[in-house]
Structure formats: C-alpha cells, structure tokens
Structure 1
Amino acid sequence: MRKSPKNIFKLFICLSLLLSISFNWGQHKPAEAAATFAKGADVGWLSEMESYNWAFYNDSGVKQDVLQTLKDHGMNSIRLRVWVNPSINFSNKADVVKQAVRAQKLGFRIMIDFHYSDTWADPANQTKPSAWTSKSFTDLKTAVYDHTYDVLNTLKSNGVTPEWVQVGNETNNGMLWADGKASVSMSNFAALINSGYNAVKAVSSTSKVIVHLSNGYDNALFRWMFDGLKTNGAKYDVIGMSLYPTTSNWSTLNAQTLTNMNDMVARYGKEVIISEVGMDVSAPATAKAFLTDIISKTKSVTGGKGLGVFYWEPECYGTWYSYTKGAFDSSGKPTIALDAFLN
C-alpha cells in the first residue's frame, strides 16, 4: 500500500526518536569499571605442585584444573614470578612462558614479577643471581635490561603480552644488594628500576611497570621510597603493595592501606595495585571478610586508580612447603575465602 507523505513524516520522527534514545543510552549508561578491575592470583608454585601430582577440586569436590576453579570464583588475572637461574626447574623463563600461555588461553590477564635473583627476593633477601655477582654496576644495569627483555620478548613470541610487569619484588630497601640497596644508594636503585622499565617498554609500550613494596599500610615506608625514587628520576607506572594481616588486625590495616593508596595517588600521580594478599587458611570466614573489604577499598581509590587485588598462592594446601596462607582446604577444595572475588 502506498504511504502518504504524512505517514512517511511520522515514521521519520519515530525513527529519529529511537536513534536519539539509543545514542544517549550509549553515551550515558553506567561505566563498567568492575570489568577492568583485576581480581587475581599468584600461582608461581603451580607447576611444581602439579609435578608432584597434587590434585585440585572444585566446590563440589570434582577434580578440576585449578586455574578454571579460580576463574569460576571470579578471578580474571594471573601473576607469575621469574627467577634468573633457579636451582629447580620452576619459575625460570621456560616455566613462566608455559604457565602464562596456559593462563591466557583460559582468558586470564597476566602480571609478570621479576625477582632479579635465583631465588626468593623479599624485604630481607635481595640476593644477586650467581651469574651477576662479579659484574660492575654498569654491567648490572645491562644484565637487568637484557634479562627483562629476553623473558618478555619470549613471552611475546608465544603470543603473551603482560598487562603488568613488576621490576623487583617487595623492594622495601631496593634490590640486587649491595649495589642496589636503596638505603645505601637510592640513585643506584632508581637506575636499576629504569633499566627494567626501559626493557619492558621496548617489548611492549602498553605494559604497566610496577614498583612493589610490602606492608601496604606503612605510609612512612612508601613516602621514603617513592620520594627517593622521584628525586632520582625513576620511571614506573604503578605502585604495588603487599598486605598480610592477622585475623585480629585486618580491619585496621585495611583502613591504613586505603589511606596510603590515596596518598600515593595524590602525592605521585600513580595508579596503585595490591600485588599480594593472604591470610591464614584456618580462618576462611575472616579471610573472606578481609578480602571483600580490601577489594572494595581498592576499587574506591581516588580517580579509579586502584587497579586490582591479587591473592598470593591461594592453591596451596596441606603440607605444601608448610605455607599456611593459602585458600584451599586440606582436601584440595577452595575455601569460602575465594568467594570474595565473585562480587
């Protein structure tokens, strides 16, 4: 049937209104910030656990790939540590590439954590790799660059570009002691940070570089470190924190950590991330309350600059290295602590 000019005009008006409503909804619908918030786990021990046939189960007691179990609990990111020449065949370049590819295939975003050591680096231990012990400081900076570039470029060749890269682990007093000890030479530590930063950006300009300290509640420590790094021209994108409270002080420490996070944003203009959290596995309900609260507080950081929260080695259970801050029970099933990541 032939349409009259009047009907055509009405149809045009209706279509215009529909298009306008659709456009305005697209422009003004609520921001989906939660989709970009990193809810993660460090699973650096996973390869070793699996090599000894440790099994993992879902909430129903069905055997399952633990990464899938973590994903089912709302996690979207995986953190992996890198050692230079470890004495065991885990957390080296080959192992990290294998696990990063595996995690990415399941849809996880990736954080890589360079320890710049052959073993654990933390506030009390920042030991140079054995192959680097006799190097001059100039050569040490080159070694940091080359190692960082090599690992990240190998990951890239295997289809993985990490979203975040830590240059150092819990570097409360610098790294690669004694050359990079911050209390002795903040300028040396800053130079080592810059070597790592430059290598990261040479492989991927979009990867965010993290400088990571423990005790996220300790504002004096963070101001001392990041004032010093600023004075000495250190380059980085994100301030990382660890937080391991007890069942009795977690509420106080969470509040102090939020204050510190907001201070870091205001003072240095940087984003912040909780790179590690944990609580005793024997108190899963309290751990869930702690995690729910620190996730909420990190999301509330000024300007949306709280990037995420990562649980450290939640898959640990039983007698594994006598570590007691996992989030799986003695039967290899997740505790209710992990439900905090479901939102």
Structure 2
Amino acid sequence: MNRIFYFLSLIFISIGCDDSKDTSDVLSPVEPLFYKGMDLSFQSELEKYDLVYKDENGKPITLLNYVSENGTNLVRLKLWHTPQNGQNSLSDVKAYALKIKSRNMDFLLDFHYSDTWADPGSQTPPQAWRNMNFDEIKNAVYNYTKEVLFELKEQHTLPKIIQIGNETDSGFLWNYGKVWNDYNDNWPNYAALVKEAIKGIKEVDPSNNIQIMLHHSNVENAIYFFNELQPYHLEFDIIGLSYYPQFQTKDLDLVKTKLNTLATTFNKDILMVEMAYPFTLEWNDNCINFIGDDSQILTEFSATPLGQKAYLEWLVNTIKSIPNQKGIGFCYWAPDWVAFVGNENTSTKGSAWENQCMFDFDHKALPIFDVFRNN
C-alpha cells in the first residue's frame, strides 16, 4: 500500500507544479515502509517467569514497550496446530497479537502447519490430520487457515503478513506436499496445498490487505524453488528468506547477487524473515549454543556487540540496495531468548541462543538496537 502512495505522490508532483505556483502544499514522496522486525514467539512462555530485561543503562523495561519505542515495527509469531506443551498455540498467538497491535506494530503470522517445529528437515503434519487422504488434507488446510484468521479478525488483530509454511524448501505436510528426494515430482501437490491456504486467507480478507509470503531457508538455493513454482501461478506477494552464515554461504557478494537475482527474476518483495548474529562466542548456561566457534561466523564481523551491530547494518544496506525497492525489511529471530534461572523445561535445558540475542548476559540492551532506531 505504501508503494501506491509513493507513486501517486510522484504523479501529483509531476502534473501539479510549475515555477509560477506556490508548491508549499505539494505532497512529498512517501518513503516505502521498511520492516524492522523481531520474532518474539518465545515471549508467550518467557513472560510467565518474570524475566527482567533492561535498557542499555541497566534500567528495567517492559520488553514489548521498549522494542516498539526503539524502532521495531513488525513482530513475527509462529503458530503450531496442537502443541504438546501448549506453547505457540492459537490462544497464545491471539493474546500476544493484541499486545502487538496495541503498540501500533504490524504482525506477521507464521503458520507451521505442524504441532511442533517445521523446517527443511522436518515437516510433520498435525496429529489431528494423520491418515487423511489428499482431498481431506486439502480441506484441512483450507478450513484451519480460514478459522484461525476468522478468530484473529473477530478480535481486530489480522496479520499484515501471513507465512504459508515455515522454511518450505522441501515442501510441507510430508508426504502430502513433500518436494524432496523421492518426491521431486510432487510440486503439483505442494502448490495445490498452498492454494488452499491462499483461498482461506482471501475469503477472510477479500480486500487483499494481507500480504502472503512463501519462505525458503537458503538465499543461495531459493531461485530453484521459486522457479519450480512458476507454472502454478500462486498468488503470493513476498519471498521470505532465512540467512544464517553458519549454515549458508559466507560469501557476502554472492548473497547480494542472489538477492538481486531473486528480485529481478520474480518481481516479488523480499523480506529477510529470519536472521541473527552473535555478540560473543561465550555462553551463559550449560546448553551448547548454535554458534560457539570463529569458523561459524563471518570474517568481516567479529562476535562482539559492535560486530553484531555492524553485521545488521551491512544486512540492512544490502536489503535496501535490492533493485526496484523490492527489499522490504528483516526480522531478527529470537532476540529475547536469553538464559535464565526458572522453569525446569526452559532454564535447566537452557537457551542455545543466548549469545545471539539482542540483550547481553545481564539482559541489557545491546548496541544493535541503534540499527532499529536509525533505519
């Protein structure tokens, strides 16, 4: 929508101005919205343990207030169908969506279409959908998607962006929509399931205010994925990507090239919907971290508070440089998943992520927040 206002403003200026007229009331071009987002899916659980987050001066803060006041304009939440521990359920999402909206931030809903984590190596259908035939699974996707959005609409918290599946490089809802190994020719079924989700979304949102995103986990390989989907003419708006250097290329020029090629080839907006970087290689609990060695990070950016900040500055500049203003923002994954003493299932097992948070081991805000404030 912001892009429409931008171009209308340019047209207005081009036809309404000359040197002899007062142009003081002419509209200036509107800068397209750039998303500075966070995935705060852990907060529905972490809030129960009275964690104390602090600002950069050590003053206690309310997390959601602080991030909204310091540049964050998008919050991503994952949704699990029937999670065993109840976390990331629809009731969780609805409750936190109200908090997001009350602080004037946009909301991104990440449908996993699973009872637990879904990613390229695991796309397990909800237990309630096991043993269905293909027509039944299509109906389940359609009805579930529509029902979730209807409940969100009823409480006036419809998302701005909806993600159909999480990191669906290999498809989703295996084996119904699997597109990997023995199922390499299964793209028609994957596309058919995505279309059912899209149909459900559009019936709740006939004005098309919601943007629809498909999510691939790898910047290098995403071109293949979206090429395979071209013949099915799926109605989606955003290419969502993950970029974690420890799992992907460390060639930053290649990252730029692939992002630019995606934008010019498919004419879709691009959102780096998952990213993070460590501020240290140390740890703050007894849990092994995802990153703990120099070989896992980029030589250009150190694992320090300023290195973390510099990395995000590079990423923002790279996204903003994507041709035709197709780079629309980023979403930092789990900036709040700190280590703490508390619940047995959370703190005893620990956080494998505390050195990639946006808060240090004393839970103080790190310099990376400057990037949110200044872009």
TM-score range, shorter chain: 0.7 to 0.9
Structure 2 counterpart of 1:190, one-letter code:
A
Query: CA shift at 1:19, angstroms?
Result: 6.3
Structure 1 length-normalised TM: 0.87
2:77 is paired with a residue of what secondary structure? strand
1:118 is paired with a residue of what secondary structure? coil
Structure 2 length-normalised TM: 0.80
Larger-Rg structure = 1
Q: Match for 2:71 among 47, 70, 74?
A: 74
Shift in alpha-carbon separation, 1:247–1:85, aligned structure 2, 3 A: closer
Query: CA shift at 1:172, angstroms?
Result: 1.0
Once residues 91 and 238 of structure 1 are traced to their aligned partners in structure 2, the CA distance between those partners, rounded to angstroms, is: 23
Structure 2 counterpart of 1:280, one-letter code:
P
> In the alignment, which residue of structure 2 is the partner of 1:12?
none
Once residues 56 and 316 of structure 1 are traced to their aligned partners in structure 2, the CA distance between those partners, rounded to angstroms, is: 11
> In the alignment, which residue of structure 1 is the partner of 2:52?
55
Aligned 8 A contact 1:245 1:278 in 2: no
Aligned 8 A contact 1:47 1:95 in 2: yes
- Following superposition of structure 1 onto structure 2, how do residues 1-343 of structure 1 map, counting pairs within 5 Å? 20-23=22-25, 25-26=26-27, 29-33=28-32, 36-183=33-180, 184=183, 185-204=186-205, 205-216=208-219, 218=220, 221-246=221-246, 252-253=251-252, 255-282=253-280, 283=303, 284-318=305-339, 320-324=350-354, 325-343=356-374
Structure with more helix by fraction: 1
Shift in alpha-carbon separation, 1:128–1:249, aligned structure 2, 3 A: closer
Once residues 225 and 321 of structure 1 are traced to their aligned partners in structure 2, the CA distance between those partners, rounded to angstroms, is: 32
Structure 1 counterpart of 2:360, one-letter code:
D
Instruction: Please identify runs of 4+ aligned residues in structure 1 that moved more than 6 A.
Output: 16-19
Query: CA shift at 1:266, angstroms?
Result: 1.5
2:270 is paired with a residue of what secondary structure? strand
Once residues 174 and 248 of structure 2 are traced to their aligned partners in structure 1, the CA distance between those partners, rounded to angstroms, is: 35
Structure 2 counterpart of 1:70, one-letter code:
V
Once residues 151 and 53 of structure 2 are traced to their aligned partners in structure 1, the CA distance between those partners, rounded to angstroms, is: 29
> In the alignment, which residue of structure 2 is the partner of 1:4?
none
Query: CA shift at 1:232, angstroms?
Result: 3.1
* Cα displacement string for residues 179-212 of structure 1 (whole angstroms, at most 9, x for unaligned residues): 1111311111111111111111211221111000
Aligned 8 A contact 1:113 1:165 in 2: yes
Could you tell me which runs of 5 or more consecutive residues in structure 1 were left unpaired when the two chains were aligned: 1-15
Shift in alpha-carbon separation, 1:151–1:247, aligned structure 2, 3 A: closer
Once residues 148 and 370 of structure 2 are traced to their aligned partners in structure 1, the CA distance between those partners, rounded to angstroms, is: 33
Aligned 8 A contact 2:279 2:307 in 1: no
Once residues 150 and 134 of structure 2 are traced to their aligned partners in structure 1, the CA distance between those partners, rounded to angstroms, is: 24
Aligned 8 A contact 1:83 1:117 in 2: yes
Identity across aligned pairs (percent)? Answer: 31
